[in-house]
């Protein structure tokens, strides 16, 4: 597909300035926050190399000025890097919803998939109904106490509607009803939302990068917990995920045998399908000591910068990071003839 002459708007979320409607940059410069968002600069460079004219806009909320600016730019497609709106990750789906209404093709997942993925319990219920293995769990509404008699310890306790490992610490894995109650109370008071109490699966953790329409596995990587101190649970906590000094590494490709890889990929692709995903996701799975595979969560809006692991995943599958971006852009532009109207057909095709 010819990409030269196309216009792309990179849309990203701004933080700390809810009162401002938007910030824009011309084709050769970035505002300070865009510089902080390394993937904005990297993706812009690759798109320029494809011959695409790139505009950049950061938003913190949606109003008439934001809509007017998008319509002024008249992008052939939007590269959607918005991870939140109104400084709330749960509102990221509204950006995709706006682009649906404007009938502008955009990269990434549609609104329903984005919304579902940010409710851990809804996802798990869908997984259960579709036969996707996931650890047994319960949801505890605000003000109530957990009843874990049907669960096998240890347990991991986390908020039901957060991403980026928010609310997960080294103390989130517990063994008793009393400790589970204590952590549930902390989630209720600090996050003002229900808590999930889930059976903690001892074993190795993997992340599965899935791309394309139709989807395929780009790579399976193993989480390296080398930096987690002895005695602490091997989990992706908020600190281990974002610690600038000792962040966790993901090793692509994972050193696993073919039968196990096949089962991991099968369950991850099924999870992708039943949530109604598109273009790219990362799916977290655990493999127990007896080699049972469990899907933990699905990230429908992962960071796609090279350092996030997508470049390593691409290389492990025999393509470059630029190849991945070009395929993503071409797939997005292929939807342009109907705006995003094919989303309805896509959801119907997966039974949603």
pLDDT, tens digit only, all 352 positions of the chain: 899 999 999 999 986 544 443 444 433 333 434 545 788 999 999 999 999 999 999 999 999 999 999 999 999 999 999 998 988 888 999 999 999 999 999 999 999 999 999 999 999 999 999 999 999 999 999 999 999 999 999 999 999 988 878 889 899 999 999 999 999 999 999 999 999 999 999 999 999 999 998 899 999 999 999 888 888 899 988 887 776 566 788 999 999 999 999 999 999 999 999 999 999 999 999 999 999 999 999 999 998 888 778 889 999 999 999 999 999 999 999 997 655 544 445 445 445 4
The per-residue pLDDT for 338 is 56
d(CA 30, CA 324): 24
Please say whether the beta carbons of 134 and 128 come within 8 A: yes
d(CA 199, CA 184): 14
d(CA 312, CA 316): 6
The per-residue pLDDT for 304 is 87
The per-residue pLDDT for 28 is 32
For domain 203-349, give its CATH number from 2.60.40.10, 3.40.50.2300, 3.30.470.20, 3.20.20.70: 3.30.470.20
The per-residue pLDDT for 23 is 42
Domain residue ranges of the chain, discontinuous segments joined by +: 7-106, 136-199, 203-349
d(CA 101, CA 104): 8
- The rounded Cα 207 to chain-centroid distance in angstroms is 11
Please say whether the beta carbons of 161 and 118 come within 8 A: yes
Look at the domain 136-199 and name its fold: Dna Ligase; domain 1 (3.30.1490)
Where does the chain have alpha helices with state H? 32-36, 38-49, 64-73, 92-102, 111-117, 120-130, 177-191, 238-242, 258-275, 310-316, 321-333, 342-349
d(CA 25, CA 34): 9
d(CA 219, CA 311): 10
Q: Encoding tokens for residue 314?
A: 């691409």
The per-residue pLDDT for 38 is 80
Write phi, then psi, for 218 (nearest 5 degrees).
-80, -35
Preceding omega of 253 cis (within 30 degrees of 0): yes
The per-residue pLDDT for 245 is 67
> So what CATH class is 7-106?
alpha beta
């Amino acid at each position: 597909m010819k990409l030269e002459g196309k216009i792309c708007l990179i849309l990203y979320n701004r933080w700390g300035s809810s009162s401002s409607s938007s910030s824009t940059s011309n084709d050769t410069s970035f505002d300070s926050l865009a510089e902080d968002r390394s993937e904005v600069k990297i993706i812009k460079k690759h798109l320029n190399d494809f011959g695409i004219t790139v505009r950049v806009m950061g938003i913190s909320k949606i109003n008439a000025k934001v809509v007017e600016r998008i319509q002024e730019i008249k992008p052939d497609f939007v590269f959607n890097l918005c991870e939140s709106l109104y400084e709330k990750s749960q509102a990221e789906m509204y950006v995709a919803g706006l682009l649906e209404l404007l009938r502008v093709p955009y990269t990434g997942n549609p609104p329903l998939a984005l919304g579902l993925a940010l409710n851990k319990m809804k996802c798990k219920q869908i997984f259960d109904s579709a036969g996707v293995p996931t650890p047994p769990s319960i949801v505890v509404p605000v003000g109530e106490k957990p009843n874990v008699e049907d669960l096998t310890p240890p347990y991991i306790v986390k908020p039901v509607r957060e991403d980026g490992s928010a609310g997960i610490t080294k103390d989130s894995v517990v063994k008793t009803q009393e400790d589970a109650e204590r952590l549930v109370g902390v989630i209720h008071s600090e996050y003002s939302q229900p808590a999930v109490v889930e059976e903690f699966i001892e074993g190795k953790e993997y992340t599965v990068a899935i791309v394309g329409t139709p989807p395929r596995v780009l790579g399976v990587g193993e989480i390296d917990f080398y930096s987690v101190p002895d005695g602490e649970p091997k989990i992706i906590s908020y600190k281990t995920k974002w610690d600038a000094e000792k962040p966790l590494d993901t090793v692509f490709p994972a050193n696993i045998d073919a039968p196990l890889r096949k089962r991991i990929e099968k369950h991850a692709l099924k999870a992708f399908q039943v949530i109604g995903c598109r273009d790219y996701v990362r799916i977290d799975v655990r493999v127990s000591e007896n080699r049972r595979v469990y899907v933990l969560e699905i990230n429908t809006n992962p960071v796609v910068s090279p350092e996030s692991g997508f470049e390593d995943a691409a290389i492990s599958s025999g393509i470059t990071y630029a190849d991945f971006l070009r395929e993503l852009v071409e797939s997005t532009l292929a939807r342009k003839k109907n705006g995003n109207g094919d989303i309805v057909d896509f959801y119907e095709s997966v039974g949603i």
